[in-house]
Amino acid sequence: MAQAAAPGSAPFHTGLVTRGQAMAMLSGAAIMLSIAMGLRQSLGLFQTPVVQDLGIAAADYAMAIAVQNIVWGFTQPVAGALVDRYGPRWIALVGALIYIAGLVLTAAATHPVMITLGAGVLIGIALSCTTTGVAANIAARVVEPGRRSLAFGIVSAAGSIGTFFCAPLGQLVISHGGWRAGLVAFIMVALLMLPAALIGGRADKLPNTTARDADMTLLGALDEARRHGGYVIMSLAFFVCGLQLVFLTTHLPSYLVLCGMDPLLGAQALAVIGLFNVIGSWGCGWLGDRYRKRTLLGLVYVLRSVAIAVYFMLPVTPASTLIFAALMGLTWLGVIPLLNGIVVEMFGIKFLSTLTGIAFFSHQVGSFLGAWGGGAIYDALGSYDRALQFGVIVGLIAGLAQMLMDDRPTERMAVAVPEPGR
């Protein structure tokens, strides 16, 4: 367990940055992550209007989102390695520009291929450069070791503040101006990522090495991770997180319409998820500095799976949907500070973005299946029931496996060497 900072001590590497500089960098990272995740998690709102307007199948739109997730998974380790090597600033800035280009191409789409290239390939690449891998790297550089899980939690919480605003904005514009107008509104919001990336990226001037990992190479870090059974189990369990969350963001709005609910309820549900994720991410980060992270991470998977099972077994109403959304929000991105904290404790921060990026690939394989598989199952069976049952079962299995993983630090990390700013 990470050592907690002494009461009243500054949470930043005060010998390296001022409090104002640290707050500015963390705010830039949080805003960039908030917008990138908020827009991405609201793309499910466009499925029904796009399918109806272009005359395509639900699986066609779901495929674009599935491609986004698998491209994100493939490119995250590469982006992570670049951030670890060169710092976050220019990676984040290029990512923001690619994100905007992806939204522009999607807004102009007249064929499923254009949607797949825009919302799928381009936004998938952009997410690798603008979300948790980069934001966590910034936080790890700025914040002293005893407060890192909390810092990861606070930055992760920002990832759903964007959903709280973007989902209602998107649905409002779609309702009054159509889905293309909704994407134009998203493009305007995405432009704000550019200054946020520049400000947050100033952390690239701060060190990301310690005496314990100064001589560690990328190949050496990959070899350590490959041989650590706990890291392998944690990465495989992360598959379930992606499957469950992307299934919900992609298909929940359409599911609610099928149940006769107002289309606005889907946007409201996503907004509630975003709002309660602020509490959940902060809470998981706070708890992660105090209790065993592997146990907390396993509980997140189990509680989320139970909530999904109960919700879809009961009659769907606006009240039950919003309560379910609140429960999902409490367990949504809370996995991020816990997983990042475990990786730092086991391997250090020098290759944090690379190693979390590799674990994230497993997450995105699950995301691919959650997005595309959910649409394919619905097209084939006319129901989401089988997809939901599968998601609940694997979620329970992953939660139990996560609780039992080996989370011991490597021999290198077990050597007590002070970090800068301690």
Task: List the structure tokens of 109.
Answer: 């789409």
The better pLDDT of the pair 51, 253 is held by: 51
Helix axes 263-288, 293-313, angle to 10 degrees: 160
Which has the closest alpha carbon to 257: 409, 49, 114?
Answer: 49
Q: What pLDDT, in 10s, does the model give residues 341-377? A: 899 888 887 888 888 888 888 888 888 888 778 878 8
Mean pLDDT confidence for 194-209: 83
Q: Which amino acid is at 299?
A: L
pLDDT score recorded for residue 197: 92
Phi, psi of 194 (to 5 degrees): -65, -55
Could you give the CA distance from residue 50 to residue 109 in angstroms, rounded to a whole number? 10
In the chain, where the domains are located: 19-203+211-413
* Averaged pLDDT score across all residues of the chain: 84
* Percent of the chain at pLDDT exceeding 70: 90
Q: Each residue of 399-411: b (16+ CB within 10 Å) or e?
A: bebbbebebebbe
Higher pLDDT pick, 7 / 336: 336
Separation CA 56–CA 350 (nearest Å): 46
Quick check: 365 and 241 in contact, CB under 8 A? Answer: no
Place of tokens 């690939």: 361
Amino acid code (one letter) for 58: A
Neighbours of 68 (CB within 10 A): 30
Tell me: pLDDT of 4 over 90: no
What one-character DSSP code corresponds to residue 211?
T
To which residue do tokens 């990138």 refer? 36
39-53, 87-101, 309-323: range with lowest mean pLDDT: 39-53
Q: Which residue has the higher pLDDT, 409 or 189?
A: 189
User: CA separation (Å) from 177 to 106, 154, 271?
Assistant: 16, 35, 20
Instruction: Name the amino acid, one letter, at 374.
Output: G
Q: What sign results for the dihedral spanned by CA atoms 160, 166, 172, 178?
A: negative
Number of H helices, E strands in the chain: 20, 0
Grouping H, G, I as helix, E, B as strand and the rest as coil, residue 280 is helix
Check residue 275 and give its pLDDT.
84
pLDDT band at 401 (very low <50, low <70, confident <90, very high): very high
Angle, helices 132-142/148-177, rounded to nearest 10 degrees? 140
* CATH number of the 19-203+211-413 domain: 1.20.1250.20
Mean pLDDT, to the nearest integer, of 201-211?
A: 73
Tokens representing 237 are 């369990």
Element (DSSP H or E) covering residue 132: helix 132-142
Mean pLDDT for the stretch of residues 80-97? 90
